[in-house]
């Protein structure tokens, strides 16, 4: 099975670790690259500076609430960029505010998921993500 490359955009190290732990427990082999804010995420995707050689991810997990460039701005930048807009973006956030949900879809988020309070539920969610995005969905090939 091909290893899937996920770009996790998350400013909270605790959440980064939780997400990594959850993916570790899953069956699909994944490699996770972390961008700690929107700025870093965009630099990575545009392969700027130190990321010149970095490969584009298969999937982006995006938190909304971040310092500097926030999640919504990242969505805008990626979804209006011809070279990047094919990459599926899953918004993964604590917020259940309707405003955030609406704003995200308007910016062409591919799906919007709320982080569960319970870690067990979080593991289940991660399993669902893998199942859907990596088993069922056919993704374009990143070269």
Footprint (CB under 8 A) of another protein, residues 3-62: 12, 14-15, 18, 21
Which of 122, 126, 130, 134 is in the footprint of another protein by CB under 8 A? Answer: 122
Integer Cα distance of 14 and 141 in angstroms: 31
Beta-bridge partner residues of 111: 90
Rounded CA-CA distance 57/89 in Å is 10
Nearer to another protein among residue 44 and residue 122 (C-beta): 122
**In the complex, least distance from residue 65 CB atom to another protein, rounded to whole angstroms:** 5
Q: Which is nearer to another protein, 34 or 87 (CB)?
A: 34
Pairing of strands 59-62, 30-35: unpaired
Q: Least Å distance between CB 123 and another protein?
A: 9
* 94 φψ region: left (φ > 0), alpha (ψ -120 to 50), beta (else): alpha
Question: Where do contacts with another protein occur on this chain (CB under 8 A)?
Answer: 12, 14-15, 18, 21, 64-65, 93-97, 99, 115-120, 122
């Amino acid at each position: 099975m091909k290893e899937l490359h996920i770009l996790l955009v998350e400013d909270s190290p605790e959440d980064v670790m939780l997400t990594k732990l959850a993916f570790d427990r899953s069956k699909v082999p994944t490699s996770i690259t972390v961008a700690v804010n929107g700025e870093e995420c965009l630099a990575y995707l545009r392969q700027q500076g130190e990321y010149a050689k970095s490969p584009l991810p298969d999937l982006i997990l995006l938190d909304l609430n971040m310092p500097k460039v926030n999640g919504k701005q990242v969505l805008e930048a990626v979804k209006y960029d011809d070279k990047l807009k094919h990459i599926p973006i899953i918004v993964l956030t604590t917020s259940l505010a309707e405003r955030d949900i609406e704003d995200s879809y308007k910016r062409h988020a591919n799906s919007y998921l709320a982080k569960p309070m319970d870690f067990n539920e979080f593991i289940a969610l991660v399993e669902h993500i893998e199942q859907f995005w990596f088993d069922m969905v056919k993704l374009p090939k990143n070269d």
